[in-house]
Amino acid sequence: GLKVLLNDPPRADEGEEGFCSLDTLAEQCNILTFHTPLIREGKYKTDHLADSTFFQKLQQVPYLINTSRGEVVDTEALLTAMNKGLVKSAVIDVWENEPHISQELLDKVFIGTPHIAGYSADGKANATRMVLEAFCRFFHKQADFHITLPDNPNQTLSQDENVRVLQLYNPHKDCEELRAHPELFEQLRGDYHLRRE
């Protein structure tokens, strides 16, 4: 039921259709979600892509989600935008200056997690598969492997799908742990528990 707008300047410049400008996103989007690599210089720079100039163009008071790289969103500019009511709230998994994250931003966001988006068993398996496939392509080897994922931890799950989803993974728990001990950012990642998607 959502209308999805996409912005990808490199792909648009190669002639792919279906992309719009950042200005269009700033005007029309109720949710802004960033999924871009961090590029510090050049034509396709993404370092501080969401900066004070971008936030001043917002017209819908959106929610912001950043699961790309912390430096894609300027922390101070986001805080200012949130304080001025230009951004309703944010979900942040990646932070500028990790592991020394902004306590002020952590306190303001709806959900803040310690850069664990790829830390699910499924995410790790997918990354492993990609590495193995690239290795096999490079060395001209047959990709003959099978990655077995662990079962979900044993638990009685609700029949209600909305409840069941949060039983399988509730991001608020990761947020509570990070808020309680932001100085343990790296440890929270390093000792991350088994989670399936």
Is 90 exceeded by the pLDDT of residue 137?
Answer: yes
* Residues 100, 13 within the same domain: yes
Place of tokens 């200056």: 97
In a domain, residue 154? The reply is yes
Rounded to 5, what percent of the chain is helix, strand, coil?
A: 40, 10, 50
* Residues 14, 101 within the same domain: yes
* Residues 74, 163 within the same domain: no
In a domain, residue 171? The reply is yes
Question: What is the span of the domain harbouring residue 136?
Answer: 118-197
How large is the average pLDDT for residues 54-60? 97
- Percent of the chain surpassing pLDDT 90: 78
Q: Is residue 98 annotated as a catalytic residue, yes or no?
A: yes
Determine which one of 98, 129, 177, 195 is catalytic.
98
Give the pLDDT score at 151: 80
Q: Domain end: 80, 112, 144, which one? A: 112
Q: Is residue 172 annotated as a catalytic residue, yes or no?
A: no
In a domain, residue 128? The reply is yes
Place of tokens 């080897």: 141
Determine which one of 48, 71, 96, 115 is catalytic.
115
* Residues 86, 22 within the same domain: yes
In a domain, residue 2? The reply is no
The 10s digit of each residue's pLDDT in 96-130 is 999 999 999 999 999 999 999 888 888 889 999 99
Q: Is 95 in contact with 105 (CB distance < 8 Å)? A: yes
The 10s digit of each residue's pLDDT in 169-180 is 889 999 999 999
The 10s digit of each residue's pLDDT in 13-47 is 999 999 999 999 999 999 999 999 999 999 999 99
Q: Where are the alpha helices (DSSP H) in the chain?
A: 9-13, 22-28, 52-56, 75-83, 103-108, 121-138, 161-168, 171-180, 185-190
Is 80 exceeded by the pLDDT of residue 154?
Answer: no
Band of the pLDDT at 157, cuts 50, 70, 90?
confident
Q: Is the pTM of this model over 0.95?
A: no
Mean pLDDT of the chain: 93
CA angle 157, 166, 29 (to 5 degrees): 145
Higher pLDDT, 165 or 93: 93
Is 80 exceeded by the pLDDT of residue 156?
Answer: no
In a domain, residue 59? The reply is yes
* Residues 108, 128 within the same domain: no
Determine which one of 48, 69, 71, 96 is catalytic.
69
Return the SS3 of 95.
coil
Residue 105 to residue 64: CA distance in whole angstroms: 13
* Residues 49, 135 within the same domain: no
Give the pLDDT score at 195: 82
The total of other beta-carbon atoms located within 10 Å of residue 70's CB is 19
Joined together, the tokens standing for residue 126 give 């997918």
Q: Is residue 115 annotated as a catalytic residue, yes or no?
A: yes
Higher pLDDT, 50 or 192: 50
